[in-house]
């Protein structure tokens, strides 16, 4: 009987294994046979990604003669072509007019939603809600695939600790653990859990790697860091995306320790493929191959060779591969094997998508009309926006607002459509966006009197406006002079019981190529807030932005502060729901707010140093500043609710944990306030002594729980030695036994600590 069971089991195992291998064997046979028919030029053609530039290009050049190139087999994929009709035309050219009828893949920057625009990624990460984040990328995949796309340039998972860098808007903030969970959730949503039906698209994790560590927060700038920091702090989200099966990876613009990422063999082959086992294809960022010439790596032929040899498969827009690889082959600078390998990887992606079986798989106009801008996606956009808001201050319970009396709605972003969608909403249409004024009216009808005044322009600095308005007139200069705008605002505010001022950044004051050295509110907005604060009425600031801002003064002037980021097309409706308490805010910062730019880079999981700063103590020879304390304005993980949550003292299942045991930590959270609400309970640890210096805190887990007013919930976490692993100086992932601190709390700063020992 026993032998029979064993035989049966092994048969089942063999069957499952071969069934799993079947598609890949079939795929290899198919691709090998196809490649047997391809000319060298056709193979190189597969490595060429073009954009015809009819929609918004994101670099300074666009591709020329695209139709002929498709016919001649010189194109592997396209991006920036939007809509079923246009994509069908291009696919038809490839299928009907090219010699081997190889289908194209169609990509786009689907970054936070597609045509239905969700809050910017930084905002979404503040929800700390992985189900919602997955739902956002699932919805974006369904909508964009219905409109013809098969590939999205997302998620962007670059860890960023420097809010001067405008692209903090596109990522999930500063923390490797939170960032890794977000990366995984997004890949799952896009790729439909790797089930490539016609609602799944290829994800493309970017920008590999370390792009967020650009020196001085200046766009495209150099990165240089220790391997230990890389492995422990910056690489985890990319790895999480690869582990989740990301079908493609985009190399970054920056150089890393002296070698541009796009031509970096260690990065793209040794680490990505050999260590992490990545099986998909690598695409360069926009003209990043060519840009290696400016980096000082040689002429176009040399840098194209460097990129191909490094493991970079697809060349975005620059056509270095198209124009130089056959010459390099003749001169022996690259081998046919190098070209074949890259070509094979691109064809594999097309095969996995099912495009060889049906090149028109994503081109169903009926699906497009059903899915694009559908009501359920609009509803999701609102839910996401509500969950992304972070309440930073709420003195005297100013919020939620009463649904009676008069509200003065003031500010350059209070009645604005243009800036609601935020950066990287290339397929979104701002005309569908709901401004706050409209949202408030939708919400309370006539029960509240709303008086509106613009109060100020977003900025009055003409040089700045010119640069920030590069895509569209997002910062408008009112016909009325600034003094008149301000006067009108004060007059409106004088009639009101409460003032709501909607301030912040225009959509593209953050995002790509939008670094700022001063991350405060523009002067005219500061002045407006000051004037409103002088009236002595309750003042609520609604702050729309794509990065943390240095708003210490404005926070002190206001009674309540709600950061909404750029909240997407349903911004106004969602913000109104939050202001009136129909949704109780639950967002927590995924990135630290500094007090001033001098504190930057500032992040909660820093090292202790040999002379650690002691809060509230003024002493010489400590790691601190003369002119500002070390504390941030708001720490990582911070976010208030309209209710209060009281934490019990955490209990540990034991204080000495053997290597095969798990530690359980329990805490009871009680909702002691007047509203039902959600709280994100956070667990951090600190290794007290290690083979290398270790951070003062590291997020290890969190749970978002809904607790009715008056109720309590017990939250339990388990920790094993695996959770405490890190990369040591030899880049080995290890657990080191010894003393640890366990912190539980409502944000990275406000925690209760316990001690325990993890034994070998
Ligand atoms: C950006 C990428 C983007 C690409 C294509 C580049 O400028 O860095 O994030 O995916 O353009 O639009």
CA 426, 427, 432, 434 torsion: positive or negative? negative
CA of 250 to the centre of ligand 1 (A): 9
- How many distinct structural domains can be found in the chain? 2
Q: Residue 384 in contact with residue 587, Cβ under 8 Å?
A: no
Mean pLDDT (whole number) for 30-56: 91
Q: Look up the pTM and report it.
A: 0.96
Residue 27 maps to a domain: no
Mean pLDDT (whole number) for 731-756: 98
Atom of ligand 1 nearest to the CA of 59: 7
Atom of ligand 1 nearest to the CA of 156: 9
Atom of ligand 1 nearest to the CA of 57: 12
- Establish whether residue 58 lines the binding site of ligand 1, counting it when its CB lies within 6 angstroms of any ligand atom: yes
Residue 429 maps to a domain: yes
Best mutation site among 57, 109, 425 for ligand 1 pocket (most ligand atoms within 8 Å of CB) = 109
Percent over 70 (pLDDT), the chain: 96
Q: Residue 541 in contact with residue 510, Cβ under 8 Å?
A: no
- Establish whether residue 206 lines the binding site of ligand 1, counting it when its CB lies within 6 angstroms of any ligand atom: yes
- Establish whether residue 581 lines the binding site of ligand 1, counting it when its CB lies within 6 angstroms of any ligand atom: no
- Establish whether residue 153 lines the binding site of ligand 1, counting it when its CB lies within 6 angstroms of any ligand atom: yes
| Rounded (10°) CA dihedral 104, 109, 111, 112 | -90
* Maximum separation of any 2 CA atoms in the chain, in Å: 92
Over the stretch 371-413, which tens digit does the pLDDT of each residue have?
Answer: 999 999 999 999 999 999 999 999 999 999 999 999 999 999 9
CA–CA gap between residue 605 and residue 493 (Å, rounded)? 42
Which is more confident, 471 or 41? 41
Over the stretch 264-317, which tens digit does the pLDDT of each residue have?
Answer: 999 999 999 999 999 999 999 999 999 999 999 999 999 999 999 999 999 999
Q: Are 463 and 567 in a shared domain?
A: yes
Percent over 90 (pLDDT), the chain: 93
Residue 567 maps to a domain: yes
Q: Are 546 and 476 in a shared domain?
A: yes
Shortest-distance Cα residue to atom 2 of ligand 1: 285
Pull the structure tokens for residue 372: 């694009």
Task: Please give the pLDDT value at position 48.
Answer: 98
SS3 (DSSP) at 45: helix
Task: Please give the pLDDT value at position 56.
Answer: 45
Mean pLDDT (whole number) for 520-546: 98
CB-facing half-sphere around the CA of 8: CA atoms within 13 A: 5
Per-chain mean pLDDT for the chain: 95
Confidence tier at 419 by pLDDT (50, 70, 90)? very high
Q: Residue 378 in contact with residue 621, Cβ under 8 Å?
A: no
Last-in-domain residue among 592, 607, 632: 592
Task: Please give the pLDDT value at position 54.
Answer: 59
Q: Is the pLDDT at 20 greater than 50, yes or no?
A: no
Q: Are 588 and 653 in a shared domain?
A: no
Task: Please give the pLDDT value at position 52.
Answer: 87
Q: Are 433 and 508 in a shared domain?
A: yes
- Establish whether residue 505 lines the binding site of ligand 1, counting it when its CB lies within 6 angstroms of any ligand atom: no
Q: Are 536 and 411 in a shared domain?
A: yes
Q: Are 418 and 534 in a shared domain?
A: yes
Name every residue whose Cβ is closer than 8 Å to that of residue 22 and which is 6 or more positions away in sequence.
Answer: none
Q: Is the pLDDT at 15 greater than 80, yes or no?
A: no
CA–CA gap between residue 720 and residue 663 (Å, rounded)? 6
Pull the structure tokens for residue 125: 């990460």
Q: Are 578 and 654 in a shared domain?
A: no
Best mutation site among 51, 58, 207, 251 for ligand 1 pocket (most ligand atoms within 8 Å of CB) = 58
Mean pLDDT (whole number) for 708-730: 98
User: 725, 717, 757, 730: which is closest to 741 by C-alpha?
Assistant: 757
Catalytically active residues, by annotation: 285
Q: Are 658 and 518 in a shared domain?
A: no
Task: Please give the pLDDT value at position 659.
Answer: 87
Task: Please give the pLDDT value at position 618.
Answer: 76
CA–CA gap between residue 537 and residue 553 (Å, rounded)? 17
Q: Residue 129 in contact with residue 143, Cβ under 8 Å?
A: no
Residue 660 maps to a domain: yes
CA of 217 to the centre of ligand 1 (A): 18
CA of 208 to the centre of ligand 1 (A): 12
Confidence tier at 60 by pLDDT (50, 70, 90)? low
- Establish whether residue 109 lines the binding site of ligand 1, counting it when its CB lies within 6 angstroms of any ligand atom: yes
Residue 211 maps to a domain: no
Task: Please give the pLDDT value at position 16.
Answer: 42
CA of 420 to the centre of ligand 1 (A): 21
Q: Is the pLDDT at 68 greater than 70, yes or no?
A: yes
CA of 285 to the centre of ligand 1 (A): 6
Q: What is the CATH number of the domain that holds 691?
A: 2.60.40.10
Task: Please give the pLDDT value at position 107.
Answer: 98
Q: Is the pLDDT at 690 greater than 90, yes or no?
A: yes
Mean pLDDT (whole number) for 197-226: 98
User: 277, 321, 278: which is closest to 302 by C-alpha?
Assistant: 321
Last-in-domain residue among 528, 563, 592: 592
Residue 492 maps to a domain: yes
Task: Please give the pLDDT value at position 30.
Answer: 98
CB-facing half-sphere around the CA of 126: CA atoms within 13 A: 39
CA of 55 to the centre of ligand 1 (A): 14
Q: Residue 108 in contact with residue 143, Cβ under 8 Å?
A: no
CA of 284 to the centre of ligand 1 (A): 9
- Establish whether residue 167 lines the binding site of ligand 1, counting it when its CB lies within 6 angstroms of any ligand atom: no
Q: Are 545 and 403 in a shared domain?
A: yes
- Establish whether residue 170 lines the binding site of ligand 1, counting it when its CB lies within 6 angstroms of any ligand atom: no
Q: Are 654 and 557 in a shared domain?
A: no
Task: Please give the pLDDT value at position 64.
Answer: 79
Q: Is the pLDDT at 738 greater than 90, yes or no?
A: yes
Q: What is the CATH number of the domain that holds 479?
A: 3.40.50.1700
Q: Are 501 and 585 in a shared domain?
A: yes
Q: Residue 154 in contact with residue 185, Cβ under 8 Å?
A: no
Best mutation site among 512, 513, 514, 515 for ligand 1 pocket (most ligand atoms within 8 Å of CB) = 512
Mean pLDDT (whole number) for 168-193: 98
Over the stretch 95-113, which tens digit does the pLDDT of each residue have?
Answer: 999 999 999 999 999 999 9
Structural domain boundaries, residue 545? 372-592
CA–CA gap between residue 525 and residue 335 (Å, rounded)? 59
**Burial code of 672-707, b = ≥16 C-beta within 10 A, e = fewer?**
ebeebbbbbbbbbbbbeeeeeebbbbbbbbbbbbeb
Over the stretch 441-464, which tens digit does the pLDDT of each residue have?
Answer: 999 989 999 999 999 999 999 999
Cα separations in angstroms, 474 against 282, 417, 730: 34, 9, 49
CA of 253 to the centre of ligand 1 (A): 10
Task: Please give the pLDDT value at position 13.
Answer: 42
Q: Are 649 and 530 in a shared domain?
A: no
Q: Is the pLDDT at 18 greater than 90, yes or no?
A: no
Task: Please give the pLDDT value at position 63.
Answer: 79
CA–CA gap between residue 586 and residue 604 (Å, rounded)? 20
Residue 81 maps to a domain: no
Name every residue whose Cβ is closer than 8 Å to that of residue 734 and which is 6 or more positions away in sequence.
Answer: 691, 725, 726, 727, 728
Over the stretch 329-387, which tens digit does the pLDDT of each residue have?
Answer: 999 999 999 999 999 999 999 999 999 999 999 999 999 999 999 999 999 999 999 99
CA of 74 to the centre of ligand 1 (A): 21
Shortest-distance Cα residue to atom 12 of ligand 1: 58
Whether the upstream peptide bond of residue 155 has omega within 30° of 0, thus cis, is yes
- Establish whether residue 158 lines the binding site of ligand 1, counting it when its CB lies within 6 angstroms of any ligand atom: no
- Establish whether residue 512 lines the binding site of ligand 1, counting it when its CB lies within 6 angstroms of any ligand atom: yes
Q: Is the pLDDT at 672 greater than 90, yes or no?
A: yes
- Establish whether residue 285 lines the binding site of ligand 1, counting it when its CB lies within 6 angstroms of any ligand atom: yes
Task: Please give the pLDDT value at position 439.
Answer: 98
Residue 700 maps to a domain: yes
Task: Please give the pLDDT value at position 22.
Answer: 54
- Establish whether residue 234 lines the binding site of ligand 1, counting it when its CB lies within 6 angstroms of any ligand atom: no
Q: Is the pLDDT at 611 greater than 80, yes or no?
A: yes
Pull the structure tokens for residue 702: 């969190």
């Amino acid at each position: 009987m026993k032998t029979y069971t064993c035989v049966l089991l092994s048969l089942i195992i063999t069957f499952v294994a071969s069934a799993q291998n079947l598609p890949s064997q079939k795929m290899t046979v198919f691709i090998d046979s196809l490649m047997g028919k391809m000319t060298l030029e056709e193979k190189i053609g597969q490595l060429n990604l073009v954009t015809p530039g009819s929609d918004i290009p994101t670099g300074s050049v666009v591709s020329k003669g695209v139709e002929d190139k498709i016919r001649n087999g010189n194109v592997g994929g396209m991006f920036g072509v939007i809509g079923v009709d246009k994509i069908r035309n291009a696919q038809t050219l490839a299928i009907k007019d090219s010699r081997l009828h190889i289908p194209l893949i169609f990509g786009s920057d689907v970054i936070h939603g597609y045509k239905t625009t969700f809050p910017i990624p930084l905002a979404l990460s503040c929800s700390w809600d992985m189900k919602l984040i997955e739902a956002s990328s699932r919805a974006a995949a369904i909508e964009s695939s219905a409109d013809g796309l098969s590939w999205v340039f997302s998620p962007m998972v670059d860890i960023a600790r420097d809010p001067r860098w405008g692209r903090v808007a596109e990522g999930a903030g500063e923390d490797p653990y939170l960032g890794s969970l977000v990366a995984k959730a997004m890949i799952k949503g896009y790729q439909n859990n790797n089930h490539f039906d016609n609602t799944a698209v290829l994800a493309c994790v970017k920008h590999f790697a370390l792009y967020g560590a650009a020196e001085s927060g200046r766009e495209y700038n150099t990165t240089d860091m220790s391997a230990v920091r890389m492995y422990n702090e910056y690489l985890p989200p990319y790895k999480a995306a690869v582990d989740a099966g990301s079908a493609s990876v985009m190399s970054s613009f920056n150089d890393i320790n002296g070698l541009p990422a796009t031509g970096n063999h260690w990065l793209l082959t040794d680490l990505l493929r050999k260590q992490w086992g990545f099986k998909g294809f690598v695409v360069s960022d926009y003209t990043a191959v060519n840009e290696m010439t400016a980096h000082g790596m040689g002429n176009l032929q040399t840098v194209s060779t460097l990129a191909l040899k490094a493991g970079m498969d697809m060349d975005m827009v620059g056509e270095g591969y198209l124009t130089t690889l056959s010459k390099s082959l003749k001169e022996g600078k690259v081998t046919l094997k190098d070209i074949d390998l890259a070509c094979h990887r691109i064809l594999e992606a097309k095969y996995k998508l099912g495009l060889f079986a049906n090149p028109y798989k994503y081109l169903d106009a009926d699906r497009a009309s059903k899915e694009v801008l559908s009501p359920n996606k609009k509803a999701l956009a609102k839910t996401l926006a509500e969950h992304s808001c972070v309440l930073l201050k709420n003195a005297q319970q100013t919020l939620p607002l009463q649904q009676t009396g008069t509200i003065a709605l003031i500010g350059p972003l209070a009645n604005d459509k243009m800036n609601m969608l935020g950066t990287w909403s290339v397929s979104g249409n701002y005309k569908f966006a709901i401004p706050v004024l409209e949202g408030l009216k939708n919400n309370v009808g006539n029960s509240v009197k709303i008086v509106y005044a613009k109060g100020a322009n977003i900025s009055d600095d003409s040089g700045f406006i010119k640069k920030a308005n590069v895509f569209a007139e997002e910062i408008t200069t009112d016909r009325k002079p600034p003094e008149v705008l301000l006067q009108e605002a004060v007059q409106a505010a004088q009639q009101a019981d409460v003032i709501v001022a909607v301030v912040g950044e225009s959509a593209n004051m953050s995002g790509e190529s939008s670094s700022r050295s001063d991350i405060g509110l523009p002067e005219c907005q500061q002045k407006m807030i000051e004037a409103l604060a002088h009236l002595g009425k309750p003042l609520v600031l609604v702050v729309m932005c794509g990065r943390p801002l240095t708003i210490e003064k404005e926070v002190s002037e206001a009674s309540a502060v709600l950061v909404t980021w750029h909240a997407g097309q349903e911004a106004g409706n969602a913000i109104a729901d939050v202001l009136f308490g129909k949704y109780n805010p639950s967002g927590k910062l995924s990135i630290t707010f500094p007090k001033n730019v001098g504190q930057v880079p500032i992040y909660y999981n820093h090292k202790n140093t040999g002379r650690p700063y002691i809060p509230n103590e003024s002493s010489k020879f400590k790691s601190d500043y003369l002119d500002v304390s070390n504390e941030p304005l708001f720490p990582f993980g911070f976010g208030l609710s309209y209710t209060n949550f009281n934490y019990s003292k955490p209990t540990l299942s034991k204080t000495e944990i053997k290597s095969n045991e798990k530690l359980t930590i329990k805490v009871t959270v009680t909702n002691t306030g007047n509203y039902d609400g959600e709280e994100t309970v956070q667990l951090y640890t600190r290794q007290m002594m290690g083979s290398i210096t270790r951070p003062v805190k590291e997020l290890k887990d969190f749970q978002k729980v809904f607790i009715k007013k008056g109720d309590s919930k017990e939250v339990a976490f388990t920790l094993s030695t695996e959770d405490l692993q890190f990369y040591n100086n030899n880049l080995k992932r290890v657990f080191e036994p010894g003393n640890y601190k366990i912190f539980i709390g409502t944000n990275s700063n406000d925690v209760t600590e316990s001690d325990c020992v993890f034994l070998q």
